[in-house]
């Protein structure tokens, strides 16, 4: 008996298997991925009795795409992966429409890379994991088996085609993943993933040549280092089939990197890229490089600037099998940040967007926070100017933007995973919507947050539950933002765990995360008069961000220091806005709880119980946030709430 659930996927029922015929595929090939597609249709498809589904190869279609004609039951596919995605699309439509799927397509993925980054450690723990333990690793060993197969099935069903299985912070045993200690187990795991068209990636320790290779340095231009990596990569690719390449966190938060040797990030990335080139490997190099040993007294150094400052000078220097992976904002997955200026800034570099569906700063899969609206904002952001064309983040990562020179097929989107070995995979049942939504959005960035939520709910909890849960999901990001951190300033979380409020938790620390509140006002001046960060966005956005009247209000405190008595566009003072939003946020959580109560007896008991238990914790958390933030600003400013509500 499996002790885990199948989420949105169709349950196996005792139905007659349909016939599936394939046409156009080379008869001498093994077609393991195609077999997966036919198996899915046979076991889970609902077709008229005696029907035959036809999967036809059409090499005129772009990679991974497909189209379906419901009249003839013909699924036309570009390749085997296209067959898997097409099959899951049919199953999805059948589930939503109570049996039959309409015709659709051609469906062409927007992004070549649609990736999950797992931050799993080899002892079984997960960095920023909120859904149990790792299903990839335990006690230094690699796990394989049914759970991995169901994992692959689940994520392939929403179009994921690449996964990194280990934490970006590569230490201890994980450094040895590129050694014969793990080749056999990794190749088994990789084979399982490959059944669903998923390529395996590993996070790499940049200093592996020292830690396991015995070299005395990791200088990317040192011939000894270069040849160590060349040999090692030959061995690794010979032993692990279906390996796509590596993800590297270098020179960041204590991890080693090329800066130690006065080399650029490009020197480091290119050295590794050369070593994997022969095997079609890709190096995904993260831009999360900043000084985490800052002095809080220093007002000139601005962490928000770091990514751009460290990488912009290397634009055009990267090998064509390197992709820079850039977090959506310049800080670190806060509930509100501007979009990273690197997307618009880099013009001759392959890029991938990194988002986080693990809700590290957004409620940790306790508080409901449907993140697709946030991701939509990022994807839709115009990097040049609000009215420019061909310059959105979605277009840039799909390699369709104007004025960007990139390697075809070398871009896309990655999410830090929110999965673990909990029975429902994501701890919170509602957090499944982020996993589902990320995959769907990565495949088709034109889908709206609402379409995705509807689709998700219609498959998993249709009817009354869908009606109740849809508005909760769609407003959850705004609700969370209201009761937590005001107007884009970020942080204010408890250090280390990052759950719950601690307004000054990071204020006098080394991490570069300050709100600078005093008795008169709050916010960081990032105009030219301050840290100068706004200018990284180019002239059009600089003008907007630097002008308090034009700056998007939700980012006001990110870009400006504002007095408590200053008026916002609503006519309210800043301080009153802070008080009001915090009271509103808690009321919204209370209202959500009330409406979810109406689902008792409608949702399966176990799921209802799990959701309510988390809602209780969310409400407790929301009240803590409200009362701590409001009291903090009341005590700093001495200005009472106009409505005389309770502030401590």
Q: How far is CA 522 from CA 73, 295, 333, 525, 558, in A?
A: 61, 19, 21, 10, 10
Residues of the chain by 3-state class (helix, strand, coil), percent to 5: 40, 10, 50
Write down the number of H helices and E strands in the chain: 18, 17
Inter-residue contact 93 to 105 (CB < 8 Å): no
Q: Is 332 in the site for ligand GCU (CB under 6 A)?
A: yes
Nearer to ligand GCU, 170 or 431 (CB): 170
Q: How far apart are CA 359 and CA 618, in angstroms?
A: 13
Neighbours of 295 (CB within 10 A): 11
Which DSSP letter does residue 92 get? H
Does 288 sit near ligand GCU (CB under 6 A)? yes
In whole angstroms, give the CA distance from residue 648 to residue 646: 6
| Closer CB to ligand GCU, 249 or 526, in the complex | 249
168 binds ligand GCU (CB under 6 A): yes
Shortest distance in whole angstroms from residue 484 CB to ligand GCU: 16
Q: What is the DSSP letter of 322?
A: E
Tell me how far apart the alpha carbons of residues 257 and 263 are, in angstroms, rounded to a whole number. 9
- The footprint of ligand GCU on this chain (CB under 6 A) covers a number of residues equal to 8
Q: How far apart are CA 483 and CA 505, in angstroms?
A: 17
> Could you give the count of Cα atoms lying within 13 Å of 548 in the half-sphere of its Cβ?
13
The Cα–Cα gap between 499 and 433 comes to 21
- In this structure, the dihedral spanned by the alpha carbons of residues 270, 276, 277 and 281, taken in order and rounded to 10 degrees, is -110
Please state, in angstroms and rounded to a whole number, the distance separating the CA atoms of residues 514 and 68: 53
Beta partners for residue 74, in sequence order: 54, 69
Site membership for ligand GCU, residue 169 (CB under 6 A) = yes
Classify 246 as helix, strand or coil: strand
Closest approach of ligand GCU to the CB of residue 332, in Å: 5
- The tokens describing 391, both together, are 């310059």
Nearer to ligand GCU, 510 or 645 (CB): 510
H or E element in which residue 153 lies: helix 146-156
* Alpha helix (H) residue ranges in 213-262: 223-239
Token pair recorded at residue 392? 């959105």
269 vs 647 by CB, closer to ligand GCU: 269
Residues β-bridged to residue 52: 19
For ligand GCU, which is the closer residue by CB, 58 or 173? 173
Pick out residues in 249-268 that bind ligand GCU (CB under 6 A): 249
Upstream peptide bond of 615 is cis (omega within 30 degrees of 0):
no
Q: Which is nearer to ligand GCU, 343 or 506 (CB)?
A: 506
Shortest distance, position 360 Cβ to ligand GCU, whole Å:
6
What 3-state DSSP class applies to 43?
Answer: helix
Structure token pair of residue 545: 């961000």
**Residues catalogued as catalytic:** 253, 332, 360
Which helix (DSSP H) or strand (DSSP E) does residue 323 occupy? strand 322-327
Give the residue carrying structure tokens 């003008």: 543
Of residues 356 and 531, the one with the C-beta less far from ligand GCU: 356
127 near ligand GCU (CB under 6 A): yes
Q: Which of residues 333-362 bind ligand GCU (CB under 6 A)?
A: 360
List 46, 92, 95, 128, residue binding ligand GCU (CB under 6 A): 128
The smaller minimum CB distance to ligand GCU, of residues 128 and 376, is found at: 128
Residue 168 CB, shortest distance to ligand GCU, in Å, is 5
Q: Which residue in the block uniquely carries the two structure tokens 């990636």?
A: 201
Compute CA distances 49 → 17, 28, 63, 95, whole Å: 9, 31, 32, 18
With binding defined as CB under 6 A, does residue 125 bind ligand GCU? no
CB burial readout 49-79, b (16+ within 10 A) else e: eeeebebbbbeebeebbbbbeeeebbbbbbb
Q: Which helix (H) or strand (E) holds 438?
A: helix 432-443
**Helix, strand, or coil (residue 606):** helix
Task: Say how many C-beta atoms besides its own lie within 10 A of residue 446's C-beta.
Answer: 11
Q: 227 phi and psi, to 5 degrees?
A: -75, -30
Tokens standing for 116? 């999950």
Q: Which residues bind ligand GCU (CB under 6 A)?
A: 127-128, 168-169, 249, 288, 332, 360
């Amino acid at each position: 008996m499996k002790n885990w659930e199948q989420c949105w996927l169709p349950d196996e029922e005792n139905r007659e298997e349909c016939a599936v015929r394939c046409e156009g595929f080379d008869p001498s090939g093994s077609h393991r991925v195609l077999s997966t597609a036919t198996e899915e249709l046979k076991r889970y498809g609902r077709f008229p009795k005696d029907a035959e589904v036809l999967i036809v190869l059409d090499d005129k279609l772009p990679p991974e795409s497909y189209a379906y004609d419901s009249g003839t039951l013909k699924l036309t596919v570009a390749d085997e992966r296209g067959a898997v995605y097409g099959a899951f699309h049919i199953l999805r439509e059948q589930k939503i429409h109570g049996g039959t799927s309409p015709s659709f397509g051609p469906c062409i993925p927007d992004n070549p890379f649609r990736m999950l980054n797992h931050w799993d450690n080899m002892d079984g723990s997960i960095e920023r994991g909120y859904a149990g333990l790792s299903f990839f690793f335990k006690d230094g060993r690699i796990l394989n088996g049914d759970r991995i197969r169901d994992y692959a099935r689940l994520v392939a069903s929403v179009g994921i085609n690449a996964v990194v299985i280990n934490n970006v912070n590569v230490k201890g045993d994980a450094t040895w993943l590129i050694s014969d200690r793990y080749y056999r187990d990794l190749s088994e795991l990789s084979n399982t993933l490959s059944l669903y068209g998923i390529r395996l990636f590993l996070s790499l320790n940049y200093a592996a040549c020292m830690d396991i290779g015995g070299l005395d340095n990791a200088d990317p231009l040192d011939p000894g280092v270069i040849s160590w990596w060349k040999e090692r990569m030959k061995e690794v690719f010979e032993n692990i089939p279906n390996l796509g390449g590596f993800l590297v966190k270098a020179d960041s938060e204590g991890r080693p990197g090329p800066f130690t040797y006065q080399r650029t990030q490009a020197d480091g990335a290119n050295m590794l890229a050369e070593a994997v080139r022969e095997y079609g490997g890709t190096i995904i190099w993260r831009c999360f490089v900043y000084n985490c040993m800052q002095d809080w007294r220093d007002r000139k150094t601005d962490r928000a600037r770091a990514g751009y400052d460290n990488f912009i000078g290397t634009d055009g220097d990267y090998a064509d099998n390197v992709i820079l992976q850039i977090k959506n904002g310049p800080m670190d997955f806060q509930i509100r940040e501007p979009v990273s200026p690197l997307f618009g800034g880099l013009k001759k570099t392959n890029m991938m967007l990194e988002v986080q569906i693990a809700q590290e700063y957004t409620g940790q899969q306790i508080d409901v926070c449907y993140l697709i609206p946030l991701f939509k904002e990022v994807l839709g952001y115009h990097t040049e100017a609000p009215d420019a064309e061909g310059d959105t983040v979605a277009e840039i990562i799909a390699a369709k933007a104007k004025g960007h020179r990139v390697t075809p097929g070398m871009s896309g989107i990655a999410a830090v995973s929110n999965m673990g070995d909990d029975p429902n995979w994501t701890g919170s049942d509602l957090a499944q919507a982020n996993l589902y939504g990320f995959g769907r959005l990565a495949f088709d960035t034109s889908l709206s947050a609402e379409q995705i939520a509807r689709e998700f709910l219609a498959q998993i909890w249709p009817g009354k539950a869908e009606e109740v849960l849809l508005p909760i999901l769609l407003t959850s990001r705004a609700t969370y933002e209201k009761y937590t951190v005001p107007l884009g300033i970020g942080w204010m979380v408890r250090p280390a765990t990052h759950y719950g409020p601690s307004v000054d938790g990071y204020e006098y620390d080394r991490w570069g995360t300050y709100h600078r509140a005093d008795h008169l006002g709050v916010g960081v001046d990032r105009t030219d008069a301050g840290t100068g960060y706004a200018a990284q966005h180019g002239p059009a956005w600089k003008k907007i961000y630097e002008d308090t009247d034009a700056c998007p209000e939700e980012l006001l405190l990110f870009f400006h220091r504002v007095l408590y008595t200053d008026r916002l566009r609503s006519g309210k003072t800043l301080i009153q806005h802070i008080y009001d939003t915090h009271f509103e946020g808690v009321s919204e959580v209370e209202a959500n709880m009330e409406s979810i109560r109406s689902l008792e007896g409608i949702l399966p008991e176990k799921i209802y119980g799990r959701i309510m238990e988390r809602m209780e914790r969310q409400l407790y958390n929301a009240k803590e946030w409200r009362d701590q933030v409001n009291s903090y600003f009341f005590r700093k400013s001495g200005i009472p709430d106009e409505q005389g509500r309770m502030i401590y």
